[in-house]
Amino acid sequence: MITGAEIMVKCLQAEGVDTVFGYPGATICPFYDALYDSDLHHVLVRQEQNAAHAASGYARARMKPGVCVATSGPGATNLITGIATAHMDSIPMIAITGQVRSDLLGSDSFQEADITGACEPFTKHTYLVKQTEDLPRIFKEAFHIAATGRPGPVLIDIPMDIQTNSIESFEYPETVDIKGYKPNIKGHSVQVKKAAELIKNAKRPIIVSGGGVLSSGAKLKLQKFAENTQIPILSTMMGIGVIPSDHPLYLGMLGTHGRRCANKALHETDLAIVCGARLGDRAIAAPDQMGNTTKIIHIDIDPAEIGKNVKVDIPIVGDMNNVLKNLIDEIGDYKVKDEWDAEIKDLKAHYQNKITTFDGYVEPRTLIGNLSSMLKAKAILCADVGQNQIWCANNFRIREGRFFTTGGMGTMGYSIPAAIGAKLGLKKRDVVVVCGDGSFQMGMNELSTIVQENLNIKIIVMRNYRLGMVRELQDHNYNCRHAATILNDVPDIVALAKAYGIDSAEVSSNEDAEQYINKIVESDKPFVLVCRVHPDTPSIL
Amino acid sequence: MKYTLSILVENQAGVLSKISGMFSRRGFNIDSLAVGVTNDPTVSRITVVTDCDEHMVEQIEKQLNKVIPVIKVRRLVEGEFISRELSLIKVHCPQAKRFEIIKIAEMNHANVVDVSNSTITLEYCETAEKTETLIDLLKPYGIREMVQTGTVAIDKGKAGIRV
């Protein structure tokens, strides 16, 4: 005989899971009891939302579903923000929640919450398990749904009695059969041919690359496609890292907080080849206008994204790897016209950053610009949300590493737990957090987890005593009325970090900051570097 | 414009809420909705009538296809399908008016299913348009109560939706 809880552990093992992030509680105790005997590594976070963010960081690092666990009621509802973040950012995730006993369901019993109902809008799918026998099938389906097609979170809500009931034996299914779920990964060959023709006839083509290129692992194919054809690349925020930032074909991030040369190029282009990007409102402010002057080829695994925000001339539904491979074959030795190439070079030269500095403060854009060269080539940078995110997105010179941030949901407090997940996923990589003093205070409880797990994560806090991005918004749109955006000078972050047992220092010049960073990257201990930043430092130029 | 969608879904708990939730959170409107099991007991069929433009009905179809228990979605082509809705209409009916109302029912092929001293209840199974016509005819007598199902629809001839 085997209990439901033991089956849950076996299902995770069958899926090759080695790490789960969670927080226990009464209704998930049977699972934790089974976990206690297993070789699965459980990471105890300090708040459930961070279990989901950590699972997200792990998923992005390992390119497979991250797993988070919470108890029923408040544990489950705390997870929601993390689940919703993963959903908006298309991150594969399995969220497991305990639930009150089946016979108590619907009676408003202690710590009961309708979590499958609540998570419906934020998940790819949800399961409320009705009998122990269903567990293996449901886990198999959940991992399949989370990881294939457009990735996303799947929630499995498991009543306590389902975990404690026993069945005869455990058998993990080898295949899944979900009638209504068969993602089209091939990419229609006729559409690819049409796309190739359109590209060959374009005068000023451009590639707009999104997170889909990274999540499908097609980064190198995209680089090859761009290098073969010499078509310049823009990226969305989620697409940062598809190509090294210093690559001659890369123009930077587009959008409201993007680089001017990138937006200008998008304005000039006559053909945008959109790869794995949904072109949300932050990427293209007035998407319905774009289609009128520019032809668009849109490649995405999710048919519902094609034509949703912009009118598309050639839709191609499929996995980016397959489509790009076929497109490379189809397009042969075509190269973009020299005039466009020259125009792009002019654009890049014309819109060089001119950064104003403030004496006695760290200039964050310059610091982040230099950060990459102080880290190993494959370093992972986790940026939080706000000005720090934009500084990173536009200035971090990514090489072979990754840039993790929440571009879709924009959830403050993401960076520290995501870095924990990333570090546990890829232990040899340099993992660096950049956050503001606002976002730091939304995730700082996880300093405990960093210490408990003995993780070498460096945290750079850009401290301006402001909620900088909202304050900037107030400057521009609300007549400089800074309602609720001024933070006071507590806590003393250096003292706080030390209270957690993490070494820390505060700096107020780039020289000092760089000196510290060069020193701390050599150590295998975590570090919190607080950088004093002038409150008037803008997000973009 | 009104569009009629046939949706085959896995016959399991919670599917209807997944679909109706998707409509409401994405701001898609539902004119009518009917659901029932098909000849295959594991599959249910939902008929949705929605009033929107071509772009939006495409979005609805795509978003429906993303709901995991949705097996297939088909937009029925105007003029090429049969649609019906069932109505029970209880009309104020003193004895003096009974003959008149029964005559209206007969002319429209509605059935009289219940009669009392002061009411008469008609059963009517027709398209939404014809139902509206009948209701207009009955209104002057005073409609006491009325209940309708959502529209159900099926393709004419060989065309159709299969798993």
Residue B36 maps to a domain: yes
CATH of the domain at B21: 3.30.70.260
Q: Is residue A41 part of a domain?
A: yes
Please tell me the total count of domains within chain A: 3
Boundary of a domain, candidates B56, B75, B94 = B75
Look at residue A176 and tell me if it is in a domain: no
Q: For residues A404 and A390, what is the distance between their CA atoms, to the nearest angstrom?
A: 12
Structural domain contains residue A174:
no
Judged by CB atoms closer than 8 Å, whether chains meet at A120 and B21 is answered as yes
Residues B89 and B135 in one domain: yes
- Contact list in A for residue B163 (CB cut-off 8 A) is 179
CA B121 to centroid of chain Cα atoms: 19
Say if residue A308 is in the same domain as residue A371: no
Among the partner-chain residues B55, B68, B70, the one whose CB lies closest to the CB of A145 is: B68
- Candidates B68, B71, B74, B163: best to mutate against A (most CBs of A within 10 A) is B68
Q: Are residues B102 and B70 in the same domain?
A: no
Residue A511: alpha-carbon gap to chain centroid: 31
Asked if residue A510 belongs to a domain, the reply is yes
Domain shared by A125 and A193, yes or no: no
Same domain, B70 and B31: yes
Domain membership of residue A471 (yes or no) is yes
Q: Is some CB atom of chain B closer than 8 A to the CB atom of A307?
A: yes
Contact predicate A28/A73, CB 8 Å: no
Q: Given this model, what pLDDT does residue A291 score?
A: 56
User: What global pTM score does this model have?
Assistant: 0.96
Q: Which residues of A touch B55 (CB under 8 A)?
A: 307
Do A370 and A508 belong to one domain? yes
From first to last of the 541 residues of chain A, give the pLDDT tens digit: 999 999 999 999 999 999 999 999 999 999 999 999 999 999 999 999 999 999 999 999 999 999 999 999 999 999 999 999 999 999 999 999 999 999 999 999 999 999 999 999 999 999 999 999 999 999 999 999 999 999 999 999 999 999 999 999 999 999 999 999 999 999 999 999 999 999 999 999 999 999 999 999 999 999 999 999 999 999 999 999 999 999 999 999 999 899 999 999 998 999 999 999 998 888 887 766 565 678 999 999 999 999 898 889 999 999 999 999 999 999 999 999 889 999 999 998 888 767 889 999 999 999 999 999 999 999 999 999 999 999 999 999 999 999 999 999 999 999 999 999 999 999 999 999 999 999 999 999 999 999 999 999 999 999 999 999 999 999 999 999 999 999 999 999 999 999 999 999 999 999 999 999 999 999 999 999 999 999 999 998 6
Indicate the number of domains in chain B: 2
Q: Domain range for residue A88? A: 2-167
Could you list the beta-strand ranges (E) of A330-478. 380-383, 402-404, 431-436, 457-463
Candidates B25, B65, B71; nearest CB to A121: B25
Query: Within a domain: residue A298?
Result: yes
Cβ distance A304 to B66 less than 8 Å, yes or no, reads yes
Q: What pLDDT is recorded for position B143?
A: 98
Could you tell me if A89 and A160 lie in one domain?
A: yes
Is B59 close to A304, i.e. CB distance below 8 A? Answer: yes
Residue B38 in domain: yes
Instruction: Please name the residue that has the structure tokens 């520290």.
Output: A416
N-term to C-term CA, chain A: 65
Q: Which domain holds residue B20?
A: 2-75
Question: What per-residue confidence (pLDDT) applies to A282?
Answer: 82
Give the strand order in the sheet containing A380-383: A402-404, A380-383, A431-436, A457-463, A527-532, A503-507
Using a CB-CB cut-off of 8 Å, the residues of chain A touching B69 are 180
ipTM of the complex: 0.92
Top residue of B24, B45, B55, B66 to mutate, by most chain A CBs within 10 Å, is: B66
Q: In B11-66, which ranges are continuous DSSP H helix?
A: 15-25, 54-66
3-state secondary structure of A158: strand
Do A193 and A149 lie in a common domain?
A: no
Asked if residue A20 and residue A92 are part of one domain, the reply reads yes
A180:B70 CB<8 A: yes
The residue type at A320: M
Q: Do A301 and A415 belong to one domain?
A: no
- Nearest chain A residue to B163, by CA: A179
> CATH number for the domain including B130?
3.30.70.1150
**Which residue from B25, B58, B163 is facing A307, i.e. has the nearest CB?**
B58
Residues A197 and A159 occupy one common structural domain: no
The pLDDT assigned to A366 comes to 96
Chain B residues touching A128 at Cβ < 8 A: 13-14
* A449 and A338 part of one domain: no
The verdict on residue A378 lying in a domain is yes
Domain end call among B30, B53, B75? B75
Residue A117, chain B, CB below 8 Å: the answer is: yes
* A308: contact with B, CB 8 A cutoff: yes
Subunit contact A180:B9, Cβ cutoff 8 A: yes
CATH number, position A108: 3.40.50.970
- Considering only the beta carbons, identify the residue of B10, B17, B63 that sits closest to A180: B10
Residues of chain B neighbouring A178 (CB-CB closer than 8 A): 68
Query: Helix, strand or coil for residue A534?
Result: coil
CATH of the domain at A332: 3.40.50.1220
| Shared domain check, B71 and B7 | yes
- Distance of residue A181 Cα from the nearest chain B Cα, in angstroms: 6
Residue B15 phi, psi (nearest 5): -65, -45
- What residue ranges of chain B have pLDDT lower than 50? none
* Together in a domain, B114 and B69: no
Instruction: List pLDDT tens digits, range A337-386.
Output: 889 999 999 998 888 767 889 999 999 999 999 999 999 999 999 999 99
Do A344 and A375 fall within a single domain?
no
Residue B161 included in any domain: no
Q: How far apart are alpha carbons A205 and B77 in whole angstroms? A: 38
Domain boundary among A291, A316, A350: A350
Q: Tell whether A84 and A231 lie within a shared domain.
A: no
Strand-pair partners of B43: B10
Tell me, yes or no, whether A235 and A342 share the same domain. yes
A343 CB-near residues (< 8 Å, 6+ apart): A204, A268
Q: A240 — contact with chain B (CB < 8 Å)?
A: no
Contacts of residue B38 in chain A, CB cutoff 8 Å?
none
In a domain, A175, yes or no: no
**CA–CA gap between residue B101 and residue B118 (Å, rounded):** 12
Looking at the domain assignment, is residue B162 inside a domain?
no
Angle, CA A434 vertex, CA A433 and CA A440 arms, to 5°: 90
Domain boundary among B75, B94, B123: B75
**A296-353: pLDDT as tens digits:** 999 999 999 998 988 899 999 999 999 999 999 999 999 998 899 999 999 988 887 6
Question: Which helix (H) or strand (E) is B146 found in, with range?
Answer: strand B143-148
